Amino acid sequence: MIPLQLTLKNFLSYRDIILDFRGLHTACICGANGAGKSSLLEAITWVIWGKSRTATDEDIIHTTADYVRVDFEFICYEQSYKIIRSRQRGKSNTLDFQINSGDEFISLSGKGVRATQDIIIATLKLDYDTFINSAYLRQGRADEFMLRGATDRKKVLAELLKLEQYQHLAEKAKDLSKQYKGQSEQLKLNLDRVKQQIEERKNINNQQKFINQEIDKIQKSQQTDQEKLQTIKQKNSHRQAWLEQFTWHQNKQDNLEKEAHKLDKESAELVHKINKSETLINQEQEITEKYEELLILQKQEETLSYQFQVSQELQQEKQKIEQEIFRKNNQLQLQIRQEKNRLEQLEDNEKDLQKIIAQSEEIKEAVGKLNDHRKRLKELDKLQHKVTPLLKQKQTLETELEKIKANLEAKLEQFESLDTQYHQELKKIPERRQHLLELDDKIQEIDNQKVYQQRVKEKAQERKLTQEKLIVNKRNNTEKIEELQQKINLLNNPDSACPLCEQELDENRRNNVVDKTYQQQQKLQEQIWFLQEELSVIKRDIKSLNIEDKQLENKLKNLGSIQQEFSRIEAQLDQAGEVKIKSKKLQKEKESIENLIATETYGMDIQNDIKIINKRLEELNYDEQSHGLARGEVDRLRWAEIKQARIEDAIRNQKKIAQQKSEIITKIEQLEKEITKLETDSELKHKSNNIENKLKSLNYDRAYHQRISSYIRKSQSCVVDYQKLQDIKQQYPQLKEQLEAVKLKINNNQEERKDTDKFIQQLSTQLETIEDHTEEIERLETKLKEQRQILDNLLAEKGRIEQSLSQLESLKKDQEEQKEQYNQVRKQYRVYTELTKAFSKNGIQLLMIENVLPQLEAETNQILSRLTGNQFHIRFVTQRAGKSGSSRKKSAKMIDTLDIIISDTKGSRAYETYSGGEAFRINFSVRLALAKLLAQRAGTTLQMLIIDEGFGTQDTEGCERLIAAINAISSDFSCILAVTHMPRFQEAFQHRIEVYKTNQGSKINLVS
């Protein structure tokens, strides 16, 4: 991705800027801290991926604006694209992705922001995480990998390589492994339970046999008892019929006695009601007179209630009118008080204005002085406008002259540093040549050992092949001996024929054949013993060769590091010739710069321009102090102008107050007249008088009304008595008839009870003469009931056993299916257990990291050699020996780690021991190598590099080397942007993007 143009509108501290990247190969983004340098680069990440350091997208909108928009035009894979992302405050983002078709940009956007974002990532082959870990060396994150502990570096590297996907797979596989393990354990329990149940079948069969026998036994006994019960019931049936009649008549006698008691009670109640009714009928005249008097009083009460209602309505209306008169009176009184307060306020204001008008003469004199000083200030301002451009031009020229001198001094320091470095490099040449010869001898010796090791391996392989052949021969001979033994066993039978020709054998021929077979068997056994001795010798040879191979392998382990050291020193010697030429050229340039600084003959055009400006300033004779005094006098007397305006306002206000006072006095008099009219001659007052007259003419007596109402409430009982009297007069004849009917029923009941009692005595005498079999019947019925209960239980148990046997048959069939399922689940458990190990940190992840580290190490050393002049060499160590728990152990256990070892001219030591400047150069090399590696893994090329800060720890020499390194790697990139606030670093770049803050927001200035 190569940037072409970035347009920002209301993004963070920027209002409206356009940054054109065309023609910028290596550029520096510089400015004060907080000016907005990092925000400029953050706009690129926001427009492409919608990512920024803010909590929400609302926060990136400028505080004075309602929307934000960023346009970014760039080249990717030789094709021009444009991305436009915007957001309205309170709304969601909009995103547009366009491609340059030649004449215009054509949209490639999807249906929504998410779909468009996916298209952008697919086109760039770069997501946000890969970008910030590769192309964008972000502020505060560049050293994250290096500053972690040795054990945590692998985690950081795994995150950068996005190996967490394998960890997710490992967790999923682990979960599935647990699931299948649980399923297999459950299936195993089920199989064990089924097996146990099937083994219980024999016991169940015995139970079934026993229960069938018990059922037959009980059924036979039940049949015998049933026949006996039937016989006894037939004998007892005649007595039972008499007993039922006896019981029925006893029940009837009880019912008749209850009925007699009920009739007696009913007769007494009727007599009581008749007596009570006769008492009330005797009081008929008195009750009727009270009732008629009450009706007359109720009519009078209705008339008085109507008068009371009318009186209440008139009283309420009168009260409302009086309240309205009171409200209006209060309102008029309030207006009078407000107007009087206004009048008092105007009189106070009038007094204040008179005091201000009294100062008019004094202020007039001060205004005259102010006008004189303003005239003088205007003349000095004109003179300042002429002088200011000259002063700015002079300041700019002096700054440029200082920059020229600073550049010359910086170059001189750089040349001195390089000269020292070149001398040191030249001094090391003899020592390096000697070391190179020693390394060459070591490599030659190791190569010879490598050839010898190959011969040892080939010899061991030959011996293994011979061993396999001997084992096959031994097995064949053993099989032949077994065949011969079978032949001998067959020949030992007298009736057997010849095993070869199948002819009958006589005694001599059979003995000859047996002897020959024994001889063959003996020869084969001797061959087996010989082969066994050969195998023992070969086994010892193979073991000896393997030991020798391992010893040689241990010796050859250091070959890689020796060859690497040989290549490094060889490269250093190749550079020694170039160093001599550079040293001579450097000396000439150094002398030329020293002469310019000593004679101050640098920037002569600028020095001449400064002299001309100084002469012109003397001619103008401008004095900043006089200008300041004049400005101070104008500021000091500005009060007079303000007070003069106040006096003019006071005169105008005085006239207004006089007019307002007259209007207020007139209004107060009018309001007082309205109050008098309201209380005596208003329409509301007339309405109130009319209502008062109506109340007098109504002639309503409230006390009399209350007495009548009280009497009516107390006399309500006579209404009840009158109603009772009317009801009783109707009910009295009926009560008499009911009483006669009840007396008749009582007589009938007495006669029927006598007849029933006589019949009961006759039945009792008859039952005593018949034998009673009831107890025996109850005993047999109880026995049959118990047998029936036992039989039901046995039948239920029989059904349960038959069901169990049926289930066992079904379980036997299911057992095979469960066994198959158990085997499948165990297989899945083993598969996912292995996958868990494979995807874990010690599986694929570790393998990928170990495969990546050599590539990272080589790329880092290539960059580091440019930064340090081949002074440093980095090595990543993934394993180291742990502390041995016992002195008797020959070797300690190896521990997984990711240590960083740095080699320099003084030897090798850990990365953590290096100083800030050296550490930064190492960090920068590793970070840049990581960036290239991550870009390659993402399937894209790293064309743009952004370096955000990190130069503050560098000394002068470190900055020079870092600049040299950036220049050296610049050919690898189409655009390099470095962010810094250090002046000496800014001057090293041909192009600078200066960022500065104003009241209108952050601004940029492109300087070439």
DSSP 792-838: HHHHHHHHHHHHHHHHHHHHHHHHHHHHHHHHHHHHHHHHHHHHHHH
Q: Mark which of 695, 713, 731 sits at the end of a domain.
A: 713
pLDDT bin (cut points 50, 70, 90) of residue 81 is very high
**Exposure of 934 by Cβ count < 10 A (0-12 exposed, 13-18 middle, 19+ buried)?**
buried
Q: Are residues 85 and 195 in the same domain?
A: no
Q: Supply the range of the domain harboring residue 801.
A: 177-199+775-839
- DSSP structure class, residue 884: P
Q: Are residues 529 and 506 in the same domain?
A: yes
Phi then psi for residue 105, to 5 deg, are -95, 135
Say what the pLDDT of residue 889 is: 46
Degrees to nearest 5, angle at CA 825 with 819 and 828: 145
Tokens (6 digits) for 297: 């009083």
pLDDT tens digits along 91-144: 888 999 999 887 788 888 888 899 999 999 888 888 888 787 777 776 455 466
Spell out the residues 6+ positions from residue 1007 whose beta carbon is closer than 8 angstroms to its own: 991, 992, 993, 994
Question: Has residue 605 got a pLDDT over 50?
Answer: yes
Average of per-residue pLDDT across 227-238:
72
Question: Has residue 587 got a pLDDT over 50?
Answer: yes
Highest mean pLDDT among 156-160, 907-911, 976-980: 976-980
Highest mean pLDDT among 71-75, 537-541, 637-641, 999-1003: 71-75
Q: Mark which of 526, 557, 576 sits at the end of a domain.
A: 576
Is 351 part of any domain? yes
Average of per-residue pLDDT across 760-783:
74
Separation CA 311–CA 700 (nearest Å): 8
Q: Are residues 32 and 156 in the same domain?
A: yes
Q: Are residues 703 and 554 in the same domain?
A: no
**Exposure of 432 by Cβ count < 10 A (0-12 exposed, 13-18 middle, 19+ buried)?**
middle
Q: Are residues 815 and 873 in the same domain?
A: no
What distances in angstroms separate CA 196 from CA 208, 465, 803, 813, one per listed residue?
19, 54, 17, 15
Q: Which residue has the tokens 């209350």?
A: 706
DSSP 561-625: HHHHHHHHHHHHHHHHHHHHHHHHHHHHHHHHHHHHHHHT-SSHHHHHHHHHHHHHHHHHT--HH
Say what the pLDDT of residue 115 is: 92
Q: Are residues 743 and 726 in the same domain?
A: yes
Whichever domain contains 554, its CATH number is 1.10.287.510
Whichever domain contains 20, its CATH number is 3.40.50.300
Is 640 part of any domain? no
Is 593 part of any domain? no
Say what the pLDDT of residue 675 is: 81
pLDDT tens digits along 854-906: 888 888 888 888 777 777 888 888 777 665 544 444 445 566 777 888 887 77
HSE value, Cβ hemisphere, 13 Å, CA-based, for 877: 16
How many residues make up the chain in this entry?
1008
pLDDT tens digits along 647-678: 778 788 888 888 888 888 888 888 888 888 87
Residue 592: closest CA among 421, 417, 412: 412
Q: Are residues 781 and 915 in the same domain?
A: no
Q: Are residues 753 and 781 in the same domain?
A: no
User: Which residue stretches of 681-773 are H helix?
Assistant: 683-698, 702-714, 717-768
What distances in angstroms separate CA 977 from CA 38, 166, 338, one per listed residue?
11, 35, 76
Q: Mark which of 680, 697, 713 sits at the end of a domain.
A: 713
pLDDT tens digits along 553-568: 777 776 667 767 777 7
Say what the pLDDT of residue 886 is: 45
Cβ neighbours of 127 (radius 10 Å) = 17
Q: Are residues 466 and 514 in the same domain?
A: yes
What distances in angstroms separate CA 585 from CA 415, 420, 552, one per listed residue?
10, 14, 51
Residue 941: closest CA among 966, 973, 965, 977: 973
Q: Are residues 958 and 939 in the same domain?
A: yes
Is 589 part of any domain? no
pLDDT tens digits along 934-968: 777 767 777 888 887 556 556 666 666 667 767 76
Is 592 part of any domain? no
User: Could you tell me what percent of the chain has a pLDDT over 70?
Assistant: 90
Say what the pLDDT of residue 894 is: 63
Is 903 part of any domain? yes
Is 415 part of any domain? no
Is 620 part of any domain? no
What domain count does the chain have?
5
Separation CA 247–CA 250 (nearest Å): 5
Q: 353 near 658, Cβ under 8 Å?
A: no
Q: Are residues 184 and 159 in the same domain?
A: no
Q: 123 near 114, Cβ under 8 Å?
A: no
- Mean per-residue pLDDT over the chain, rounded: 79
Q: Are residues 812 and 855 in the same domain?
A: no
